[in-house]
Chain A
């Protein structure tokens, strides 16, 4: 029998053999190894993964509507109504211009339980936090003060981070002249929750900015503690503020001291920095209720200035 020669092997064999299966790695012998390695990797990932559990005491961030609430406590029983009307106008027009809210209340709305009526400003501040839970800041400004530079918003004047960092007075005795407690030297503006200024004898409690947070509730409620109210501090809540700032580091660590002229320069020159043209606020500190040197007469020249700025 004659058989044909078998076909010649190609002298140009294909360079690679075709694959036996789709994935050469998945051979049965390797499957186990792969399984083990994959399991180990997942186990390691699981072990070392750090699920970001939210901090249990994480705070709600207020949305900033309105950004700032201006709190003022007026006392219609002992001051002239026309004068108080200008105060109210000043706050309300300024607030309307910048999208803020003005929260103006009467001193006798709050029961200070026998303590001087000036304590009611703290209750008013707490009330503002209650009424405007979404605000970013509250600014307490005393009755006897005008906002002079009405075109400047509070953010660009003080609250901006850069601005505030430039203004902060660091490592300086909180209570003049010689308290050993000094403001923090490494405080950043985002950690500041309380902004005050200082006159020649102490902190100016008549113009204070507080950031709305859990801390602010702690701070205001501590400041108006009934036992502070009953302690007969010579200058009531002003000395109470100096006290808590010096004794409680959780308060001091949030405090920024700014020059008095940014927050509340006086009309008189002997007690602290005096108002100069162009300053943001003027504060008729120590003006009388009536008669010579009353708040009304003292304020009249300033009234003209700011009301013309509004174009009234």
Chain B
């Protein structure tokens, strides 16, 4: 049903049930004041959108984590021989070198200068490498260099990863779900650390709260907004679903995409138009930019970049840029009047809502660009599969071209998410072996196979 006018937001927050309370538009229940109901998103904003606490007291930093180990390995100094006979006896038995520190010192006193250097030099080299490249957790010099404006401007990019999908009370996460999450997060974390980007992991389990407000799936919007606020220096925000895998961690976003954006982005949806959207709007009251198929044609006016799969827009992997336009889009993306009329048709919720906006609003078209799907969002052969069983060159992952990212879209509907994730993880490792691994596996193992007829894994 439709109301004579749209309901106002009710005091205390939220959207009153459409259709249940006819008067809600005019006289919103102002006298309910002080009710315990409050708008969930407002509540969440206060607490930070992801469910993680903003700080933790445990396991923080190197020293708290390794204090026990460090302190137990420090040399012990007895302040003097105790008076008891037992202590004196013990002291004499162990000699001076009881503590390991002392042992090392005496060792160095014994060896010659040349040997000393031979030991120290590799240590220094290893330390330098670690400082340079960083470790798993602590990013090294390369990371900070690539973040800076002279080393690649990595701080302009933030990767937003939707984690904790499918959690909640009703659907327990099994071992496989945890494994998917662990691998996916680790993959993005390594990638972001390597190139000096920021990684923001958002917690999708808040879905339930949004479902309560009829805004399920639109939490993306709030997460984007919060992330934009959290990283004020960043310009581009890359949304990634959980079931994605960066296959080529050696590609930087700048090199892969942003240095030559104008070459990769196409504005005219007629290039590939599975939704059959009539593209340049033709209304006589629109200006030339709005009626042109490519907007104003300048690459700087692209604020949203996404890809299209076989059935239309795909929001598993897309980029938005910080701008006034983006704020307007995020604001308009969910609207109660639009939602009320369309929610039965919007099977993919926020994705369909965006398609709807793209269809009807010229101002959105003028700032939306499309990327060839395989640049940021390759599909495994099982997704978007047609009867032929062949790989679609536009859609499906192709290892010969070393596609950047795989998105196992729709794997939770009857496919094996973990199987695909595992496959692509191992495949990515295999594709990106280092020279030593290549030597082992391509030469040594091959020779061994020729000699003995046995395959070995080195």
Residues in A lying within 8 Å of B, measured CB to CB: 47, 56-57, 110, 123-124, 126-127, 129-130, 133, 175, 178-181, 214-215, 217-218, 221-222, 225-228, 230-235, 239, 242-244, 246-251
Contact = CB atoms under 8 A, between A and B. Distances in A.
A56 B4 contact: no
B292 to A, nearest CB: 13
Contact of A226 (B325, B331, B360): B360
Which 3 pairs between the two chains have the least Cβ-Cβ distance?
A234-B4, A127-B285, A130-B287
Nearest to A177: B27
A251 B363 CA distance: 15
Interface in B296-345: 300-301, 303, 321, 323-325, 327-328, 331-332, 335-338, 341-342
B362 A221 contact: yes
Nearest to A234: B4
Contacts of B356: 227
B341 A249 contact: no
Interface stretch (B5-13, B136-144, B391-399): B5-13
Contacts of B150: 47
A130 B362 CA distance: 13
B444 interface: no
A142 B187 CA distance: 60
B286 interface: yes
A234 B325 contact: no
Contacts of B324: 57, 214-215
Contacts of B283: 123
B152 to A, nearest CB: 15
How many chain B residues sit at the interface, stated as a range, is: 35 or more
A57 B285 contact: no
A18 to B, nearest CB: 48
Given A222-B361, A227-B341, A247-B336, A179 B8 contact: yes
Given A227-B338, A250-B331, 4 more contacts: A56-B323, A214-B325, A221-B362, A246-B9
Classify the interface of chain A: helix, strand, loop or mixed: helix
B2 A232 contact: yes
B361 A225 contact: yes
22 contacts: A123-B285, A124-B285, A127-B284, A127-B285, A130-B287, A175-B8, A178-B27, A181-B9, A217-B363, A218-B325, A218-B363, A221-B361, A225-B338, A227-B337, A231-B2, A231-B6, A233-B4, A234-B5, A243-B5, A243-B337, A248-B331, A251-B331
A123 B281 CA distance: 14
Contacts of B300: 56-57
A225 B4 contact: no
B331 A249 contact: yes
B30 interface: yes
Given A218-B363, A221-B362, A233-B4, A57 B28 contact: no
Interface string B96-138: 0000000000000000000000000000000000000000000
Interface in B178-196: none
Given A57-B323, A234-B5, A249-B331, A180 B11 contact: yes
Nearest to A216: B363
A235 B4 CA distance: 8
B288 to A, nearest CB: 8
A57 B301 contact: yes
Given A214-B325, A218-B328, A250-B327, A230 B360 contact: no
Interface in B338-364: 338, 341-342, 356, 360-363
A140 B290 CA distance: 22
Nearest to B334: A247
Given A56-B300, A57-B325, A227 B360 contact: yes
Contact of B342 (A126, A227, A234, A246): A227
Interface string B351-394: 00000100011110000000000000000000000000000000
A206 to B, nearest CB: 17
B28 A180 contact: yes
Contact of B5 (A133, A222, A226, A235): A235
